[in-house]
Copies of this chain bind each other. A is one copy, B any other.
Amino acid sequence: MDMIHMEPIGVVRNGVTEAVDEGWGEVTSEIVLRPDLAGIVDGMEGFSHVLVVTWLHETPAVPEVKRRPRGRNDMPVLGLLAQRARHRPNPIGITACEVVAVAPDRLTVRGLDAIDGTPVLDLKPYFPAFDRREAMVPEWVDRLMSGYFAK
């Protein structure tokens, strides 16, 4: 299929140098915007949460289309796109973060699971009508997720 080309809107600054699998809940990050986009987040202060869309640029490629989540033997073999790991054909991250502060040149958020220098592709205010769902998950999810946001 035709390749798609996009320029990041900004970059993550948080001093975090290593991607980890858990404990992102208390990390505060600044998303520093491109200078030509100054003012483009004005109004975000009315929202409690924002979806931060990142390009997880240091994610290693995965050659197979299926694997066990985190390689754990107690997890089923699943297609990569039926998982939330960063290892996927396009390593796009989507994280629902708390809005901490808004300025013309940057947005400050809490809970972003991305290292310093990560390119940001988009920001979307969290709309419950769009984003909040009563959703069912398979039993392996609860086993996998214990501890993700804890310190």
Contact = CB atoms under 8 A, between A and B. Distances in A.
A6 to B, nearest CB: 5
Contacts of A80: 40
B34 A1 contact: yes
Total copies of the chain = 2
Interface residues of A, number: 67
Contacts of A7: 1, 3-4, 89-90
A122 B79 contact: no
Interface in A88-145: 88-90, 92, 94-96, 119, 121-133, 135-138, 141, 145
Contacts of A82: 40-44, 46-47, 125
A119 B88 contact: no
A46 to B, nearest CB: 3
A66 interface: yes
